Amino acid sequence: STALANDKVWHMHEAAEQDLLEQQVSLMGELANAIENHQLEVQYQPKLDLKTNRITSVEALVRWHHPTRGYLSPDSFIPLAEKSDHIADMTLFVLQRTLRDLSQWHAAGTEVKAAVNISARLLTSQVFFEAVRAALAESETSASHLIFEVTESATMADPSAALRALEGYRQMGITISLDDYGTGQSTLTYLKTLPIGELKIDRSFVENAHEDSSDALLVRSTVHLAHALGLQVVAEGIETKECLDFLREVGCDLAQGYHVSRPLPAPDLLALCQRYTGVASPPERSAA
C-alpha cells in the first residue's frame, strides 16, 4: 500500500509540475502582449545619499498588472522573460520609460539619476547595445544620468564578453553598478578589472549587520574595499533605523530599502525627492 500511496503522490506531483509548466508557457505568451496592453508599470525606489541626505538616484523596478492574475512581482516573470527574447523588449520598455521620467524630473528641477537592471543574457547582446544607443539618441536625457545594474553572476557567465560589453556602455557614458554583491564568487582581482562605478551590497548581508558581528565585518570591509577601488557603495534592503545608522557609521555612501521608501510610481518619486532637501534628519515618514 505504501508503494501505491507513493505512486499516487508521484502522479499528483507530476500533475502539479505539468500545471506549473502550462502556466509558465501561457504567461510567457501573455508577456509578449503585456507591453502593448499597458500592463507593465515602472516604479522607482530611491537611493538615499547618507552624507547629504538627498535622493541622488533611483532604481527602476518593473511591475506587471496582469488582467486575471493580479499584481505579479518581477521574480515571477523575469526568469521566464530571460528564457526568451521578451527580456529585450521588456528591458527596452523599462529603459525608455525611465529616460522619459528622468527628463520630466530634470525639467522639474531635480538632478536625480536612474538605474535599470540588465539581465546576463542581454548584457552581451550586440542588438540590445545598439538599441540602447538609439534610445539615448532619441531621448533628451544624457547617458551620464543613467546607471546599469548588472549582477556579479551575469558578469561571470562569459567574463571576457561581459567585460567588452561593460566597457562599451561605460564609453557611452553609462555608469555600471554591480548588483547583489557578495552572493557571487568573484575575486578581488576580477572586480578590479571591471569598469564599474558602484557596488551594491546584497540585502542578505545588510539586513542583520547591525546585530551580527560577521555580517558587520563583511559590510565594513566591503565599504573599505570599494572606497579603495574608487567605487561608491550602496547598501540594499534597509528596513530599520538601526540598520541605517549602522551604515552611516561605517561610511556607506548610499542606502536603499523600505525604511527609506518602497518603490514608488514616478509622480510620487518626484514629490519624495523634493522633500529630501539635505537637512540632517529625514522628513516625516507619515507624509510618504
Binding positions for ligand C2E, rule: CB under 6 A? 45, 61-62, 73-75, 78, 91, 94, 117, 119, 149, 179-180, 236-239, 256-258, 263
Residue 220's Cβ-count burial label (10 Å; 0-12, 13-18, 19+) is middle
Q: Which is nearer to ligand C2E, 75 or 284 (CB)?
A: 75
CB 72 within 8 Å of CB 234: no
Q: How far is the CB of 99 from Mg ion (least distance, A)?
A: 17
**Which cell numbers hold the place of 256?**
536603499
Residue 58 near residue 115 (C-beta atoms within 8 A) = yes
Footprint of Mg ion on 141-180 (CB under 5 A): 149, 179-180
| Nearest position to ligand C2E, beta carbon | 257
Query: Which CB, 198 or 236, lies closer to Mg ion?
Result: 236
Segment contacting Mg ion by CB under 5 A, of 78-86, 112-120, 251-259, 279-287: 112-120
Contact flag: residue 207 with Mg ion (CB under 5 A): no
In the complex with Mg ion, the residue whose CB is nearer, 152 or 236, is 236
Return d(Cα 2, Cα 79) in angstroms, integer: 37
**Amino acid identity, position 3:** A
239 binds, among Mg ion, ligand C2E, none (CB under 5 to 8 A by kind): ligand C2E
Rounded Cα distance, 156 and 202, in Å: 17
Find residue 148's DSSP bridge partners: 116, 176
Rounded to the nearest whole angstrom, what is the least distance from the CB of residue 268 to ligand C2E in the complex? 15
To Mg ion, the closest distance from the beta carbon of 75 in angstroms equals 9
Between 119 and 141, name the residue whose CB sits nearer to ligand C2E.
Answer: 119
User: Smallest Cα–Cα separation from 146: which of 108, 101, 115?
Assistant: 115
The residue to which cell 567605487 is assigned: 231
Q: How far is the CB of 246 from ligand C2E (least distance, A)?
A: 14
Given a contact cutoff of 8 angstroms between Cβ atoms, the answer to whether 92 and 131 are in contact is yes
| Residues lying near Mg ion in the complex (CB under 5 A) | 117, 149, 179-180, 236
